[in-house]
Amino acid sequence: MANSKLYKGSLQTIILNLLEQNDKMYGYEITQKVKQITNGELKITEGALYPALHKLEAEGFLDVEIINFGNRMRKYYKLTEQGETENVNRLVELQEFIKNMQIMVNPKFSLE
Amino acid sequence: MANSKLYKGSLQTIILNLLEQNDKMYGYEITQKVKQITNGELKITEGALYPALHKLEAEGFLDVEIINFGNRMRKYYKLTEQGETENVNRLVELQEFIKNMQIMVNPKFSLE
DNA sequence: ATATTATGCATAAGAAAATTATGTATATAT
DNA sequence: ATATATACATAATTTTCTTATGCATAATAT
């Protein structure tokens, strides 16, 4: 996913959030979007992405729609209602995580 | 470590940074310090901590000094020169990670 | 008195999430 | 013809963590 291990555990958060912002997306599109908005710093590998999408779907957070685009196939994913709720929770967790990491690496943050 | 998966991959960064700030610490002290500065939100388990310390030591980032404190034993860890360099790199990675996550969940950040 | 909690180390089994390596197939550019 | 891009997928392996267990001493609560 990237040179740093920090991204471990953040893939689902990223996927849920992109789908909140973009209504529906297919797998390859997600990899390109992430590469684009991080200026190439973050590359999501297929071996991580597809299993993650399948898991989120199995948990009821995503719905799939298969589209035949020309002669190729695309699987469009979108958030279910449950998925929208989950996304809100994940964003809260992300902000708490970032806050705690900032505090730890720079104790002055805790004085705010 | 916590309710959220996001902390996966961040333990080494946390350890290196605490040792930068506190010169030398022993394992149990690290768990208590982290609990304290995150108001109990982040609890580092022993099953994660001790293997992580051993790994950082094996990689040459930490030096150990065994102290007999009363009848108990403490293993004090401190950064090697290599460890200090590594810590700087990890902090840069952390800030880049946070920046990228902020951009992804809130595209407005990219306009700064 | 004695049971629990705190202090302090450690490892082993298992789960979760990733990497790396494949595999299939079409489209396009050199 | 060959490489790159698009588009899906899975399998083997590695990394990192959780959960469970083990040993031992010290302090505190009942």
Closest chain B residue by Cα to residue A89:
B4
pLDDT at residue A109, as a whole number: 63
**Which strands sit side by side in the sheet containing A24-26, from one edge to the other?**
A24-26, A72-79, A62-69
Whole-angstrom Cα distance, residue B101 to residue B104?
Answer: 5
Model confidence band, residue B2 (pLDDT cutoffs 50, 70, 90):
confident
The pLDDT of residue B37 is 93
User: Does A9 sit within 8 Å of B9, measured CB to CB?
Assistant: yes
Closest listed residue to residue A45, CA positions, set A54, A36, A37, A35: A35
Interface test mutation site (partner A, options B10, B90, B108, max chain A beta carbons within 10 A): B10
The DSSP line for chain A is: --SSGGGTT-HHHHHHHHHHHHSEEEHHHHHHHHHHHTTTS----HHHHHHHHHHHHHTTSEEEEEEEETTEEEEEEEE-HHHHHHHHHHHHHHHHHHHHHHHHH-GGGGG-
What is the length of chain A?
112
Verify whether the Cβ–Cβ distance A17 to B110 is below 8 Å.
no
Residue pair A49/A26 in contact (Cβ under 8 Å)? The answer is no
Between CA B43 and CA A55, with CA B4 as vertex, the angle to 5 degrees is: 145
**B75 CB inside 7 Å of strand D:** no
- Which residues from chain B sit within 8 angstroms of residue A18, using beta carbons? 104
Lowest mean pLDDT of A17-21, A105-109, B3-7, name the range. Answer: A105-109
A111 CA vs D12 C1’ separation (Å): 48
Span CA (A3) to C1' (C19), Å:
11
Tell me the domains of chain A and their CATH numbers.
Answer: 5-111 (1.10.10.10)
**Mutation site, B105, B106, B109, interface A, largest A CB count within 10 A:** B105
CA distance A64 to chain B (A): 22
pLDDT digits (tens, 9 = 90+) for A51-82: 999 999 999 999 999 999 888 899 999 999 99
Q: How confident is the model at residue A33 (pLDDT cuts 50, 70, 90)?
A: very high
Rounded Cα gap, residues B104 and B112, in angstroms:
14
pLDDT single digits (tens) B35-90:
999 999 999 999 999 999 999 999 999 999 999 988 889 999 999 999 999 999 99
The closest alpha carbon to B100, from A93, A43, A67, belongs to: A43
Contact between A8 and B12 using a beta-carbon 8 Å cutoff: no
Three-state SS for B34? helix
What mean pLDDT, rounded, does chain A reach? 94
